């Protein structure tokens, strides 16, 4: 990993739950020595990417990121193209829905909507979606660029007793995702959450991200699965259209086959 990558990588440790981080704490989280971490923070501070809170001396994200985020949204308004679709997805499924985007070899959350239909519901509060352990990440591996594979294999972190932990198991799972057109995670990242994702494409015709529904595992029945998949298909088509793309014919064919199987399972359950 280059020095630039290591420097910019420190930004990933700032989250809504941890908006400020002290130098010693960041050293522990990044597993780097204090001198190196401080040098990288100084570079980020010089660029306006971080700043120090005068009262606490802890670091927080800087104003330069706000400008970059505004420019990004003005020129590539993906968030706006997904929000209305998510509102409809939450209403029809009764579950939390979210959209993620692929950047490099990482799948990042873009926007989410929590369901108000249940007191117990999935909450999307992550910095990124692990490629091997989430429905969004599996969608990226199945339909995204080939360079995601070595990145995923290198990060097979175990989160629960159901997390995919070997390259062979991951390969089999990704192949199943390609055949169905849906990424699915059954308590692989969190013990009580199941997720289903459908790929989203942009004007380039390439995989751009995923639209997903996250549900408390105890509510995930065959009938809910069928409903979620039907509505994810519509959501994927709508977001893809809003992002200037078209869903590939092979994905549409996979969805049709997958829905037929889901309907059979629902009718026999």
User: Is pLDDT at 108 greater than 50 in this prediction?
Assistant: yes
Kindly list the domain boundaries of the chain, sorted by start residue: 3-66, 77-267
User: Is pLDDT at 3 greater than 90 in this prediction?
Assistant: no
% of the chain with per-residue pLDDT over 90: 70
143-157 pLDDT, tens digit each: 999 999 999 999 999
The arithmetic mean of pLDDT across residues 31-38, rounded, is: 93
pTM: 0.73
User: Is pLDDT at 122 greater than 90 in this prediction?
Assistant: no
Task: Out of 3.40.50.410, 3.30.450.40, 1.10.3720.10, 3.40.50.11540, select the CATH number for domain 77-267.
Answer: 3.30.450.40
Residues 24, 28, 33, 39: is their CA dihedral positive or negative?
Answer: negative
More confident residue, 77 or 28: 28
Provide the pLDDT confidence category of residue 73 given band limits of 50, 70 and 90. low
| Domains 3-66 and 77-267 in one fold | no
191-211 pLDDT, tens digit each: 999 999 999 999 888 999 999
Amino acid 157: pLDDT: 94
Rounded to the nearest integer, the mean pLDDT of the chain is 90
Task: Give dist(CA 109, CA 83) in Å, integer.
Answer: 13
Amino acid 252: pLDDT: 95
Contact between residue 268 and residue 231 where contact means Cβ atoms under 8 Å apart: no
Provide the pLDDT confidence category of residue 76 given band limits of 50, 70 and 90. low
CA dihedral 200, 204, 205, 211 (to 10 degrees): 0
Amino acid 262: pLDDT: 60
Give the domain 3-66 fold.
Answer: Arc Repressor Mutant, subunit A (1.10.10)
User: How would DSSP label each residue in 70-112?
Assistant: HHHHHHS-TTHHHHHHHHHHHHHHSSEEEEEEEETTEEEEEEE
């Amino acid at each position: 990993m280059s020095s630039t990558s290591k420097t910019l990588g420190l930004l990933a440790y700032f989250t809504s739950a941890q908006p400020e981080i002290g130098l010693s704490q960041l050293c522990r989280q990044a597993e780097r020595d204090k001198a190196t971490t401080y040098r990288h923070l100084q570079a980020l501070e010089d660029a306006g990417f971080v700043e120090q809170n005068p009262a606490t001396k802890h670091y927080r994200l800087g104003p330069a990121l706000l400008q970059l985020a505004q420019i990004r949204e003005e020129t590539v308004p993906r968030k706006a193209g997904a929000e209305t679709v998510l509102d409809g997805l939450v209403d029809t499924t009764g579950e939390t829905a979210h959209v993620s985007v692929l950047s490099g070899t990482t799948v990042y959350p873009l926007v989410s909507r929590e369901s108000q239909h249940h007191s117990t519901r999935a909450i999307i509060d992550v910095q990124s979606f692990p490629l091997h352990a989430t429905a969004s990440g599996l969608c990226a591996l199945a339909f995204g660029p080939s360079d995601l594979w070595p990145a995923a294999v290198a990060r097979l972190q175990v989160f629960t007793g159901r997390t995919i932990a070997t390259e062979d198991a991951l390969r089999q799972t990704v192949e199943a995702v390609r055949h169905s057109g849906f990424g699915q995670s059954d308590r692989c990242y969190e013990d009580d959450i199941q997720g289903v994702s459908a790929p989203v494409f942009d004007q380039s015709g390439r995989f751009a991200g995923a639209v997903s529904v996250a549900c408390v595992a105890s509510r995930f029945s065959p009938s809910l699965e069928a409903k979620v998949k039907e509505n994810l298909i519509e959501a994927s088509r709508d977001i893809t259209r809003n992002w200037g793309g078209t869903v590939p014919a092979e994905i549409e064919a996979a969805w049709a086959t997958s829905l037929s199987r889901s309907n059979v399972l629902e009718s026999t359950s």
